[in-house]
């Protein structure tokens, strides 16, 4: 089954309105009108509107987080309904920076995933082990617990309406990328676990790699059989760097 590659830029807490305008005009002018892979960017909440109004139709826009609640007295949070109302397509859930800094646990992340689906947003579920967990040999256990919490809440069919991003924490923002084989090993593990629930659906779900992915390693990573694109942090912050990754997705989507 062929899955469309997705190149997703997580801008984290970077930028300004001027940055957003420059990035969006760079992407609009450099991305071809027809592409066979998907592109998405994830600005901070207050820049979402600017991205949504300036993006070309084939670029999707997502938020970096959402509330697990529908609405109510939850100061400082933003609901899935509000994001959908604004015109967002996607949303990140359970990014490791939020799991660590904001103590988001697997159950909360699962609720956020369900909330996103409820309002028609595509959630990208971020999972991944720390360097200590990798050294302890618990990578698979940790990653599967993170996914299983969502699976238990929403079921396999709904899980596959979202995207999974495997982001080893030790590779995020460190310049230390997982090798293509290391990534493939975990991606294959995830897909084989999902296949125990439903083989057809497991083959359909996209699993992105994230962690120091850049133009120079994207081709090798994305050409792995179970790697369906990337969630890109640092290398999504200039149009030039981001386009370098998109070009690799373009080559692969055309089979070259």
Catalytic residues, which ones?
95, 167
- Minimum distance from CB of 208 to ligand PGA (Å)? 9
Return the structure tokens found at 255. 């089979």
Rounded-to-integer distance, Cα 193 and Cα 13, Å: 34
Q: How far is the CB of 95 from ligand PGA (least distance, A)?
A: 6
Question: Which residue has its beta carbon closest to ligand PGA?
Answer: 233
- Nearest distance from residue 9's CB to ligand PGA, in Å? 9
| DSSP 8-state class, residue 69 | S
Query: What does the CA dihedral 147, 152, 155, 158 come to, rounded to 10 degrees?
Result: -50
Closer Cβ to ligand PGA, 10 or 182, answer by number: 10
Nearer to ligand PGA, 97 or 202 (CB): 97
Torsion sign across C-alpha atoms 60, 63, 67, 68: positive
Instruction: Write a three-state SS string for 16-51.
Output: CHHHHHHHHHHHHHHCCCCCCCEEEEECCHHHHHHH
Closer by beta carbon to ligand PGA, 202 or else 231 = 231
Work out which of 68, 167, 228, 250 binds ligand PGA, going by CB under 6 A: 167
Size of the site for ligand PGA (CB under 6 A): 13
Euclidean distance between CA atoms 215 and 114, whole angstroms:
33
Using CB under 6 A, which residues numbered 193 to 252 contact ligand PGA? 210-213, 231-235
Complex with ligand PGA: residue 191 or 214, whichever CB lies closer: 214
DSSP state letter for 255: T
User: Does residue 9 bind ligand PGA (CB under 6 A)?
Assistant: no
Is residue 6 within 8 A of residue 208, CB to CB? The reply is yes
Q: Is 102 in the site for ligand PGA (CB under 6 A)?
A: no
Point out which residues bind ligand PGA (CB under 6 A): 10, 167, 172-173, 210-213, 231-235
């Amino acid at each position: 089954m062929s899955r469309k590659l997705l190149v997703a830029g997580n801008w984290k807490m970077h930028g300004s309105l001027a940055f957003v305008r420059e990035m969006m005009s760079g992407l609009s002018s450099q991305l071809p009108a027809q592409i066979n892979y998907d592109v998405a960017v994830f600005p901070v909440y207050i820049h979402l509107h600017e991205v949504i109004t300036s993006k070309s139709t084939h670029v999707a826009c997502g938020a970096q987080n959402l509330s697990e609640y529908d609405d109510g007295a939850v100061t400082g949070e933003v609901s899935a309904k509000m994001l959908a109302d604004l015109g967002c397509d996607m949303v990140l859930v359970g990014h490791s920076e939020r799991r660590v800094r904001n103590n988001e646990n697997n159950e909360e992340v699962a609720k956020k995933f369900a909330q996103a689906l409820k309002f028609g947003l595509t959630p990208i579920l971020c999972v991944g082990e720390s360097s200590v967990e990798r050294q302890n040999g618990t990578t698979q256990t940790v990653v599967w617990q993170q996914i299983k919490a969502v699976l238990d809440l929403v079921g396999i069919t709904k899980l596959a309406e979202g995207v999974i991003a495997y982001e080893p924490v030790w590779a995020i923002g460190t310049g230390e990328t997982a090798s293509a084989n290391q990534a493939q090993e975990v991606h294959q593990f995830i897909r084989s676990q999902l296949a125990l629930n439903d083989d057809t659906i497991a083959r359909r779900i996209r699993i992105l790699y994230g962690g120091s992915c850049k133009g120079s390693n994207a081709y090798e990573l994305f050409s792995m059989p179970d790697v369906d694109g990337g969630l890109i942090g640092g290398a999504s912050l200039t149009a030039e760097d981001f386009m370098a990754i998109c070009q690799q997705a373009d080559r692969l989507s055309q089979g070259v």
